[in-house]
Amino acid sequence: MKRHIILLFTLLAIAVAYAAPSVGTTFQDTKTEADNAYQQKDYPRAVNLYERFLREHPASASAHYNLGNCYYRLQNYPQAVLHYERALKYNPADDDARFNLSLVRTKTEDQFGEASEMFFIRWGKQLRDQATADTWAVWGLVLFGLSLCALLVYLFSRPLLLRKCSFFGAIILFATAVAAHCFGAWQHTRATESQRAVVMQTCPLREGPSDSAKGSFDLHPGTGVRLVDTSIRGWMQVELSDGRTGWIEAGKATIV
């Protein structure tokens, strides 16, 4: 009896071991089929395949990027904006996605300016977007290790010049490691929390979360907004790129 039980568990383990890779292979095959359809310019089929793949792998930046390209070719600009935004959410260093997003925004109806920022804030954001959260985490660890090495040189070396250089080097390396850690945490938050949305249906930007609240003007499909408050059921408080804020119905926009 014991032998039969052991044999049964062995067979189950083998079945699971073979089944798990086959599931992954199936979805990888879907991605390959989608890429082939995209290269053959069969955009409707590529859209269906990428959508199927993304249901199981929602954090695939490359799939979102290619899906955005498909929607752009099909002139479905709101969906193109959505997937370019998602591509940048998971890979903020993707310059192609950033360029295509700026291009497709010229095709949408709403053209808002950018809110003014201090130059060092703008530079900080540009530097932050040069790498993903994982890359910044690696840089943070490397720089922290180098700062410890510089500190050890300061503690155990005798020449005065070397001690001075290692002391200030340790401070600079440690400060840079902290900055890398902050950038990584910032990128991780952006990749794991919903901070943006894209308007999919024309809707008024209201002064409050109510149908009776005064509407300032209409937002049109393809407009990207930053989420400010989603705590009130059925409503989103959003901020436009020019800094203006208001409320829209939650069902009129899709979260990035």
Task: Give residue-wise pLDDT tens across range 36-53.
Answer: 999 999 999 999 999 999
pLDDT tens track for 93-106:
899 999 999 999 99
Instruction: For residue range 87-137, list pLDDT tens digits in order.
Output: 999 999 899 999 999 999 999 999 988 877 787 787 888 888 888 888 999
Amino acid found at 230: T
CA 66 to chain centre: 15
Q: Is the pLDDT assigned to residue 14 strictly greater than 60?
A: no
CA pseudo-torsion sign 250, 188, 179, 181? positive
Q: How far apart are alpha carbons 178 and 49 in whole angstroms? A: 41
DSSP state of 108: S
Beta bridge partners of residue 9, listed in sequence order: none
Mean pLDDT of 146-169: 91
Summary mean pLDDT of the chain: 87
Question: What is the pLDDT at residue 26?
Answer: 64
The band of 232, judged by pLDDT with boundaries at 50, 70 and 90, is very high
Look at domain 2-105 and name its CATH class.
mainly alpha
pTM for the predicted model, two decimal places: 0.78
Asked if CATH classification 2.30.30.40 holds for the domain at 196-255, the reply, yes or no, is: yes
State which H helix or E strand residue 11 sits in. Answer: helix 2-39
- Residue spans of the domains in the chain: they are 2-105, 119-192, 196-255
Q: How confident is the model at residue 7 (pLDDT cuts 50, 70, 90)?
A: very low
The helix/strand/coil state of 222 is coil
